[in-house]
Structure 1
Amino acid sequence: MKKVIGLLTAVGLLTAPLANAETVTVSGSTSVAHVMEVLAENYQNKAQKSVEVQSTGSSAGIRAAKEGTSMLGMSSRNIKDNELNSEIKEVVIARDGIAAAVNKANPVKDLTQQQISKIYRGEITNWSEVSGEARPIVVVTRENGSGTRGAFEEIMDLQRTVNGHKVTAITPTAQVGNGNGMIKTIVANNPYAIGYISLGSVDDSLQALSVNGVAASDENIAAGDYHIARPFILLVNNKPHPSAQSFVDFIMSNDGQSIIAEQGYIRVQ
C-alpha cells in the first residue's frame, strides 16, 4: 500500500516572513499538502531554499493565492470561475483518486457509484442493503471547505440546488472529520463506518472499496476506468516571485513528477 507521510504544520522556517525572498510559502488543501511536503523537503535539499507548507484547506488556499498572503495556493478540487481573477493561473501538478474506504473487518469489498451516493444521501442506511451485516452504516464526511469533499460531492452527485445556490446533499447525520488523518482514524476504529480519503493516503489501517467492480488504483485512474478522481492544482500568480517559480519548475520537472509518482499519485508529465 502507499507510503504515508505524516502531515506537518509547515516545512522549513515556520517564522520566516512572506517578504523573505528565499522562502516560498504554500498553503491550502490537506490532500495536496501530503505530497507537497515531500516535494518541499527534496527541493530544499537540492536548492538550499526554504519552503513553508501549511495545511489550511482548498478554499483557504485559493483565497490566500488570490489575496497574495501565500505565494502558492493548493486545491484538490476544480476551481470555480468566481474564485479566480486575472492575476492567478492554475497549474495541475498531479492527479489523485478518492477512495471510498471501510474498516478492514467489513465484508463489503465493492459498491456501485450509485450505492455510495445513496449511502451518503441517507437513502441506504444499513449494510444489509448492500450485502453486508445487518448493522447501521456510520457515514463519515470531510468538513466544509475541504477540496476532497468538494470533489467527492461533485463526482458523486451529492449537491442540490436551493434558491439558486448549490448546497450539500450529504445526510446531516454524517460524522465530520477534519483532514484525511481523522477520517482514517474514525473508519479504522469503527467496523461499520464508511469514509472517503485521498487514494494516496490509503494505508493498511483500512480498505479501499472497488467501485463498479473497478479497484481504486493508479493504473485504473490513468486508464479512466476508476471515475472517482480529481486534479491536484497549484494556484500561481501570473508574475510569480522567482523563488516561487523555481519551486513550481522543480515540481513539474522529471525529478518532481517522479516524487509525485513515488508517493502514490499520478504524474501529469
Structure 2
Amino acid sequence: MSLKTKRNTTRTLTTAAVAGLAALCLFSLSACGSKAAAAHSNGASAANSNSTAISGSVSTNGSTSMEKVIGGLSEKFMAENSQVKITYDATGSGTGIESASNGSADIGLSSRELKPEEQEKGLKATPIALDGIAIIVSAKAPVKNLTLYQIKQIYTGEATNWNEVGGPNLEISPIGRENGSGTRDGFESITGTADKTVHAQELTSTGAVIEAVANNPNAIGYASLSAVEGKKNVAMLTVNGVICSEKTVQDGSYPIQRPFNLVTSNSANLSPAAQAFYKFCLDQKNADLIRSAGAVPLAK
C-alpha cells in the first residue's frame, strides 16, 4: 500500500469514528431528555392530584327528622373523601336555620320551609329530599279515606268515634310516636296538631306503631312511607282522596309531606369542602340512599 493510500484510509476511519461518537451523544441526550420529561409529567400529575383533594371540616346543624338522611349522606361522602370530617348537631329546624344565619354552622338543616322573615335575612333553603307520612289503619278497617281536617279532629280528640268520620260505631284509638320523634314533629306540624295531640298510645319506634295498628281494628297511626310500603297487615288511607306514594309526594298532590332542606346564607362563602358536600347532597345518584333513610328522593 502506498503512503497516499494509507493516509486516505486513516482519514476515512477518523471521520467515521467522529460521526459515531456524535450519534452516541445525541442518543444519550435524547434519552436523558425523555426521562426528564417523564419525571416532570409524573410530578405534575401528582401535584394536580394533590391540588384537587378535598380536605377540611363541614358543620351541619338542625332538624332531628333529617338525622338518618344527613347521616347516610355524610358517611358516604366521607368514605369518598377521607380528608373531610362532617359533623351533625340535632337541635331542631329553628336552631338550624339560625345557625346558618349567624355562621355557627356551615349548613343549616330544616324540615320546613323558610318563613318570610327568615328569607329577608338572606337565607336560602334547598330541598334534598321529601318526607311523606302515611296514615295507616288495620288491613280490615272499613274506612278508606280521611280529609286532612278529619285527621286533625281525630288527633286532637274532637272526633272520638269512627262514625263521626264516615266509619262504623267504634271508638277511635289514635296511635303515634313519642315526644322528640321526627315523624311526630312532621305529622303535627302539617296537620296543625302540635301541642294538642291526644294519643291512646305513644310508641318509640315506627315498627311498634305499625304493629299496634295492625293488631287493633279501631286504631289509626302514622309512619314514614318507606316503612309502610309492602306491609300487608296495615292499609294506607287516602288523604283528601290521594294515596301516599313516591309519585304523589314528589308531585305535591299528597298533603302530609314536607321538604328536607339545606339552609345557607347568601352572605356566607362556603368552604371548598362544604361546597362539595352541598353539591353531593343534591346528586341524583344518592336516590337509593335517601329511600333507605326513610325519605323520598326528589323527582328527576
**Fold match (TM-score > 0.5):** yes
Q: How does 1:145-156 map to 2 (within 5 A)?
A: 152=187, 155-156=190-191
Please name the residue that 1:6 is paired with.
Answer: none
1:30 counterpart SS class: coil
Q: 1:184 to 1:236 in 2, by over 3 A?
A: farther
Q: Which residue of 1 aligns with 2:298?
A: 267
- Distance in structure 1 (CA, Å) of the matches to 2:183 and 2:154: 17
1:23 CA drift (Å): 2.5
Number of aligned residues: 236
Q: One-letter code of the match for 2:211?
A: A
Cα distance in 2 for partners of 1:206, 1:142 equals 20
2:237 is aligned to: 209
- Per-residue deviation, 1:265: 0.9
Deviation at 1:43, TM superposition (A): 0.9
| Contiguous gaps of at least 5 residues in structure 2 | 1-54
**Contact 2:144–2:238 (Cα < 8 Å) also in 1:** yes
Match of 2:93 in 1: 58
- The 1:232–1:77 alpha-carbon spacing in structure 2 relative to 1, beyond 3 Å, is same
Question: SS where residue 226 of structure 1 aligns?
Answer: coil
Alignment of 1:4-23 (within 5 A): 22-23=56-57
Show CA shifts across 1:162-191 (max 9, x none).
xxxxxx5734x347969xx54653453363
Aligned AA (2:59): T
Matching residue within 93, 107, 112 for 2:147: 112
Equivalent residue runs for 1:156-175 within 5 Å: 156=191, 158=192, 168=194, 170-171=196-197, 173-174=198-199
CA shift in 2, pair 1:143/1:262, >3 Å: closer
State the one-letter code of the partner of 2:225.
L
* Corresponding residue for residue 235 of structure 1: 263
Structure exhibiting the larger radius of gyration computed from Cα positions: 2
Output the TM-score relative to the length of structure 1.
Answer: 0.69
Query: Which residue, 156, 176, 200 being the options, matches 1:140?
Result: 176
Residues 173-232 of structure 1 deviation map (CA, whole Å, 9 limit, x = unaligned): 347969xx5465345336354343443454648653222332210112234432222221
Identity between Structure 1 and Structure 2 (%): 33
* Superposition pairs of residues 52-131 of structure 1, within 5 angstroms: 52-83=87-118, 86=121, 88-102=123-137, 108-129=143-164, 130-131=166-167
Higher relative contact order structure (alpha carbons within 8 Å, sequence separation ≥ 6): 1
Amino acid at match of 2:297: I
* Partner Cα separation in structure 2 for residue 53 and residue 124 of structure 1: 40
One of 192, 216, 220 as aligned partner of 1:194: 220
Structure with greater strand share of residues: 1
- How far residue 143 of structure 1 moved from its aligned partner, in angstroms, is 4.3
When residues 194 and 24 of structure 1 are mapped into structure 2, their CA distance, relative to the original with a 3 A threshold, is farther
TM-aligned CA deviation for residue 234 of structure 1: 0.8
Per-residue deviation at 1:243? 1.4
Change (3 A) 1:105 1:39: farther
Q: For residues 206 and 58 of structure 1, do their structure 2 counterparts lie closer, same or farther at Cα, with a shift above 3 Å needed?
A: farther
Distance 2:201 2:272 in 1: 39
Equivalent-residue separation in structure 1 for 2:237 and 2:117 (angstroms) = 34
Match for 2:61 among 22, 27, 41?
Answer: 27
SS state at 1:227 partner: coil
Q: Which has the higher helix share?
A: 2
Q: Is the 8 A contact 1:103 1:188 kept in 2?
A: no
